[in-house]
Structure 1
Amino acid sequence: MISPKNRQIALDWLKAFNTKDLEGLLHLYDNNAEHYSPKLKVRLPETKGLIKGKDALRSWWKDAFDRLPTLHYRLVSCQLDIVV
């Protein structure tokens, strides 16, 4: 079961992403956040799929918003809390 706090973070992330609110999305990340994606590995091979920090996240998400304006996520389930 997911905690109410983490569920709200997930909902806030979805809302920010789906409304293309770049600053709202970035607000949910730590300044030193790391993001791994196989899509990054393909699109930006020099990253080996990993970007670090808000500047890199800003660039990645802005590019995604520009390239894929109709991309939309929806919450299907929240099943697990992980603290890293």
Structure 2
Amino acid sequence: MARPDADSFAREWVAAWNDHDLDAVLSHYADGVVFHSPRIALVMGTDEDFLTGKAGLRKYWQAAMAGASDLYFELEDVLTGSDAITLLYTNHRGQNAAETFIFDEDGEICIAVATYG
């Protein structure tokens, strides 16, 4: 597994979200990514709490961004592991959030888990 530089990754990831640049956000993810979030069911109107594949992630985030024109993340901290990075941030709803990313051998996110306080 190849983990990118945590601080550089965090700055790029947050900047892409704050710019509402979905292509830039998705550039960090592997085609077969598995993404877990309790917000998937709410945004997509399903019972699913995870999705697989970059195409599904794009569809979910397009829907989420359409409903959040004020979307903005304020980075609070960056935590690192052997093959993972966790970003702690505050979102536009004032929620504390954490996303943990596990990277594949190409340095792309293969598993991501979003949690909210």
Band of TM-score, shorter chain: 0.7 to 0.9
Aligned residues: 82
Alpha-carbon separation, structure 2, partners of 1:82 and 1:23 = 27
The answer to which structure has the higher strand fraction is 2
Structure 1 position 9, deviation (Å): 1.2
Counterpart for residue 52 of structure 1: 52
Give % identity. Answer: 23
Counterpart for residue 109 of structure 2: none
Instruction: Give the residue type in structure 1 aligned to 2:11.
Output: L
Which structure 1 residue ranges, 4+ long, deviate > 4 Å from structure 2? none
Deviations 1:4-34 (A, max 9, x none): 7122112111111110111111101011111
Counterpart for residue 64 of structure 2: 64
Counterpart for residue 31 of structure 1: 31
Alpha-carbon separation, structure 1, partners of 2:4 and 2:57 = 26
Name the TM-score, length of structure 1 as normaliser. Answer: 0.83
Deviations 1:38-81 (A, max 9, x none): 11133336452101111011111111111101011111011232
Q: Quick one: higher RCO (CA 8 Å, sep 6+), 1 or 2?
A: 1
The answer to which structure has the higher helix fraction is 1
Tell me, which stretches of 5 or more residues in structure 2 are unaligned? Answer: 84-101, 103-117
8 Å contact from structure 1 (residues 6, 81) kept in 2 = no
Instruction: Give the residue type in structure 1 aligned to 2:10.
Output: A
